[in-house]
Amino acid sequence: MAELGIRILERLEATGLSQTELARRVGITQPAISNLIKRGSGGSSHLHKIAKELGTTAAYLTGETDDPSEGALPAPTPQMIAEQLGMTLIPEIDLHFALGGGSFVDGHVTSSLVPYRTDWLDRITRGSPAPADVFLTRGDGDSMMPTILDDDDVVVNRADRIITKQDRIWALGYGDLVSIKRVRRLASGVFQLLSDNVNVSPIEAYEDELRVIGRVIWIGRRM
């Protein structure tokens, strides 16, 4: 096998790409990649694009340099790609907030990044908080009907954790449970956790029993 084929295989292993995935990104077939590796010919019109997807340069693949990073552009990060498209990545937390008595929090909570249009985020957050302080999750149950339905998308501002206004909707921790409720502070200092569903009774809690995760600032649902 010629030097070109060896170096393509090395870069495939280094980047974790398969020949099939590389071919898809370049816009050619997997047999074309396989033939290039076996032939070892540097004459392919796709070599520069192949090198870019492999995080190196055509000069490295053809043996003109032994430094795979010499002259290579850094691979764009998801954040860079999102910014170029006018998007912002916010975390989607894999934790359904209960709209009834509460969901039990047990074990590791996973999350992924979801792209949203930056101008839309600016509009619903009014320029504050920063994207890092916002996360997306979903509700569970029917106690916040008709305001929030089961499985509705819910955006929470975790920079806002001080309950200063009555009857706003908050994501809360209460004991081992998490829930989304309206919160009202009574003259006695007790907090009432209120459901919009009139059939669900309020819960009363003292301040030191509550963990304020953030304030709900946007709700969306599928039609």
Q: What is the pLDDT of residues 80-139, one digit of tens each?
A: 788 888 888 888 886 666 555 444 444 445 567 888 888 888 888 876 667 678 888 888
Distance CA 222, CA 185 (A): 33
Q: Which residue has the tokens 């929090």?
A: 105
Higher pLDDT, 74 or 204: 204
User: Per-residue pLDDT tens for 13-44?
Assistant: 988 889 999 999 899 999 999 988 887 765 56
Cis? peptide before 131, omega within 30° of 0: no
DSSP strand pairing (153-157 vs 87-98)? unpaired
The pairing of strands 87-98 and 203-205 is unpaired
Of 38, 39, 21, 17, the closest CA to residue 29 belongs to 21
The domain segmentation of the chain, as residue ranges, is 3-61, 80-220
* Better-predicted residue by pLDDT, 107 or 189: 189
CATH architecture of 3-61: Orthogonal Bundle (1.10)
CATH number of 80-220: 2.10.109.10
Q: Which residue did the predictor score with more confidence, 180 or 69?
A: 180
pLDDT, position 98: 53
Which one of 114-118, 141-145, 175-179 scores highest in mean pLDDT?
A: 141-145
Helix extents (H) in the chain: 3-15, 19-26, 30-39, 47-53, 58-61, 78-84, 118-125
pLDDT tens digits, 149-171? 988 999 998 888 888 888 999 99
User: What mean pLDDT is predicted for residues 70-86?
Assistant: 74
